[in-house]
Amino acid sequence: MICRQCQQPFTVFPDETELHQSFGLPAPTLCPVCRLQGRLAFRNERSLYNRTCDLCHQPIVSIHKGTAPYPVYCQPCWWSDQYDAMASGQPFDFSKTFTEQFKQLQLAVPHAALYQTNATNSTYNNYVLNISDCYLLFGGGNNEHCLYGKYIIDCKDVLDVYSSIQNELGYELVGSDHCYNCRYADFSRNCRDCAFIAECLACSDCIMCYGLQHKQYYYQNKYVGPEKFAVLKDQYDHLTAAGWENAVQEFKDFRKTFPQRASHIYASEDCTGDLISNSVDCHECFDIKESEHCRYVSYIPLAKDSVDCTFGAPYGVEHCYNLCSATGNKNCHNAFLIWNSYDVAYSTECHLSHDLFGCAGLRKQQYCILNKQYNPAEYQALKEKIITHMTTTGEWGEYLSPEYVTL
């Protein structure tokens, strides 16, 4: 097939076709990369603004500008019972496109200032849950005293960390898990008291090392013993800013002298991509674990039978297609920011719900279309009519229109 956006050829694999057919969706018209771009257009992670909450009128930090043409509520107000998103419900008008009507709904319902859950003393963070005393984390959960990170989970006292799990006392970690008191560690696991290491496993007291396993008191991949290592450690513990930059460059030059690992896939079978662990039959996937039968899935643990899903920690997704920032969901497609729900399509910011179509900002609701509730039989009949209408207008099967992107 030829992508209608970038004009590049792409393949639709049988597992994708099977998933599309289960939802009654046609084959995609966009290649995987362009589909990813469409999803990520909705996820403003790091652009933060000062503004006021449109309900309590208190000063807040938000990913939405103060000039946004829709109401924005702080976290306590958005999750409160002081308003009813169902009040913005509207009947479906078959003389208009779905895009026109859903955009009108998006402008009417309140949007959360930030996407946080159980964040204590952690104002300047987004897409996080269960964190305390953290600053500028974008994606992750169960963190304490952490600064400057993306997609970090179960970490404590770490700084400048990317895509890492269960680390403590760390600085400049990338793709490293279960490490303690390590600095500048890339793709290393179960290491402690190390600095400038990469691709190391279960090492301790190592500096400037690459690709070692179960080693101690090593410098530049050579055993130096505890006495000499103590001298070297003291030198690297007291680097100036310039000295640190020199050490970084020295390590980059050193690691280039070794064969580089093609991908970081651990305890997995029939998988392609990078940073994959304990998974099976996952292709073109990145930063996933304990997943199976997935394609084009990234930043998600516990994914199953899903395609084109991005950012789904900590609970994963099952039998889902084309989701972004969605977790704990089953049988959902073409949606953004859906949590712990099932049978939801073409919706945004809906949680703890099921059987929603074209809804925004709902919680604990069911059988709703454009935020208007129906009985189950009415819901199913109207949903089928809307699908036929969207097929005629060319909207059915495509992801949410960029017109919905909130600013």
Per-position pLDDT tens, the chain of length 407: 999 999 999 999 999 999 999 999 999 999 999 999 999 999 999 999 999 999 999 999 999 999 999 999 999 999 999 999 999 999 999 999 999 999 999 999 999 999 998 999 999 999 999 999 999 999 988 999 999 999 999 999 999 999 999 999 999 999 999 999 999 999 999 999 999 999 999 999 999 999 999 999 999 999 999 999 999 999 999 999 999 999 999 999 999 999 999 999 999 999 999 999 999 999 999 999 999 999 999 999 999 999 999 999 888 999 999 999 999 999 999 999 999 999 999 999 999 999 999 999 999 999 999 999 999 999 999 999 999 999 999 999 999 988 766 55
How many angstroms separate the CA atoms of 87 and 367, rounded?
A: 15
| CA separation for the pair 112, 59 (Å, rounded) | 14
- Angle CA 10–13–14, to nearest 5: 155
Bond before 14 cis per omega within 30 degrees: no
- Locate tokens 């949410």: which residue? 400
Angle between helices 98-108 and 376-393 (to 10 degrees): 120
Cβ neighbourhood burial of 98 (10 Å; 0-12, 13-18, 19+): buried
Residue 108 identity: A
**Cis peptide upstream of residue 314 (ω within 30 degrees of 0):** yes
Question: What percentage of the chain's residues is helix, strand, coil (to nearest 5)?
Answer: 20, 40, 40
CB 201 within 8 A of CB 213: yes
Euclidean distance between CA atoms 154 and 148, whole angstroms: 15
Phi (first) and psi of residue 184, to 5 degrees: 50, 70
Residue 175 burial (10 A CB sphere; 0-12, 13-18, 19+): buried
Which pLDDT score is estimated for 407? Answer: 53
Distance of CA 215 to the CA centre of its chain: 34
Model confidence, pTM = 0.92
Radius of gyration of the chain (CA): 24
- Six-digit token pair at 94? 């078959």
What is the C-alpha to C-alpha distance for residues 151 and 176, in angstroms, rounded to an integer?
Answer: 12
Query: How far is the C-alpha of 1 from the C-alpha of 12, rounded, in Å?
Result: 8
Which pLDDT score, from 0 to 100, does residue 314 have? 85
Cβ–Cβ under 8 Å, residues 161 and 167: yes
List the structure tokens of 244: 């640190």
Give the closest residue to 170 by CA, choosing from 213, 161, 145: 161
CB 278 within 8 A of CB 266: yes
pLDDT of res. 330: 98
In sequence order, which residues have a C-beta less than 8 Å from that of residue 278 and are 6 or more positions away? 266, 267, 268, 289, 290
